[in-house]
Homo-oligomer: A and B are copies of this chain.
Amino acid sequence: MSNRKRKDPPAYATITDVARMAGVSTATVSRTLNSPEQVQAETTGKVMKAVKKLGYVPQSAARNLASRKTNTVGLLLPSIGEDFFGQMLRGVEAEVAQAGYDLLVATKPESQVRVRSTQPLGRHNTDGILIFTGNIFEAEILPMYGEGFPMVLLYQSPPKGLKIPYVTVENKDGSRALVDHLIEEHGYRKIAFLRGPEGNEDSHWRERGFRESMERHGQRVDESLIEPGLFNEEAARQAVTRMLAAGKDFRAIFAGSDENAIGALTALAEAHIAVPEQVAVVGFDDLNLARFTTPPLTTVRAPTEKVGREAVATLFKLIRGEVTEEKVLLQTEVIIRQSCGCIRKEA
């Protein structure tokens, strides 16, 4: 017969088992594992032997509950997977693991329909979160923000009034350098620009870079040469087809993104317009496939993995209560291939 409260022994060793085998208290086992400098060498030896022998691994739940921290970082992703996603995750994971933390990954529920009790990531299961997702609405983060819960934004600035650190890439400088190249090296003047989705920050700054370069070179930008590409291949294809049908005159297209550039390339090919001989095309992002387009795409490379690393580093500062930069801006680099008209090949 069994006592009411005596459950079957767990399938795993607990701290009590280790303490018993080593002949010490559980407090000492805990200290041996967490702050060995507080424990005598001889004791450490006994404890570690027992740990090894029993294959003891501390239960995260118990540890978290007692220490009031989760040792876990959350990463909130957009529902749709970006193409450079793997690289970013690599940076995040590496940095998180190095700090001995765990990484919890979740996707932002698409709609309010999915009545999951609450946010998938928050104070209840993480010590802080990284938010990498298109449109953050204030309502979604305000409660956490109000509590001072540590969070860092990726590729986007916080809603007005909220002081949340964010890390992103230098869209404007990269774009300006790219357009500078088009103007200075190739002498193009009539340059079209394909915008990203309404309200997209990357797009905003890329357009700014485009305009700055034009202005600095004394070029008036022709507003009729600015069309929405939406960072979407098909939409970009249609936009370029439309401009062509309307008889618009342009010598180059700064597509705003590689995705847009692919759509532009398709539209141009369908219209039998030679790239770069008749119209040059350049993108932004340097997706893996940028080397393989016809012709290979001149574009701007962003340090995606580093964005991940920096974001985690910033989050840890927040978690430790240190001050952080409001904004970390990572430099980009123009990658010259052939779609701009250059003949030199990639290094």
Contact = CB atoms under 8 A, between A and B. Distances in A.
Contact of A70 (B61, B100, B103): B61
Contacts of A33: 117
A104 B102 contact: yes
Copies of this chain, tallied across the complex: 2
Interface in A50-75: 55, 57-62, 64-65, 68, 70, 72
Nearest to A118: B57
Contact of A93 (B62, B105, B118, B123): B105
Contact of A85 (B11, B85, B105): B85
A107 B93 CA distance: 7
Given A57-B123, A65-B61, A83-B86, A97 B107 contact: yes
Interface stretch (A187-195, A249-257, A272-280, A285-293): A285-293
A177 interface: no
A117 B320 CA distance: 23
A217 to B, nearest CB: 32
Interface in A66-122: 68, 70, 72, 77, 81-83, 85-87, 89-90, 93-94, 97, 100, 102-107, 109, 116-120, 122
Interface residues of A, number: 56
A125 interface: yes
A33 B85 CA distance: 35
Contacts of A336: none
B102 A103 contact: no
Contacts of A11: 123, 147-148
Contacts of A321: none
B116 A100 contact: yes
A162 B145 CA distance: 48
Contacts of A291: 289
Given A12-B147, A105-B105, A60 B55 contact: no
A240 B266 CA distance: 31
Contact of A89 (B60, B72, B105): B105
Contacts of A97: 106-107, 109, 116, 120
A16 interface: no
Interface string A286-324: 011101111000000000000000000000000000000
A81 B70 contact: no
A143 interface: yes
Interface of A: 10-12, 33, 55, 57-62, 64-65, 68, 70, 72, 77, 81-83, 85-87, 89-90, 93-94, 97, 100, 102-107, 109, 116-120, 122-125, 143, 147-148, 262, 287-289, 291-294
13 contacts: A10-B68, A11-B123, A55-B143, A77-B93, A83-B288, A89-B105, A90-B107, A97-B109, A97-B120, A102-B106, A103-B104, A104-B105, A292-B294
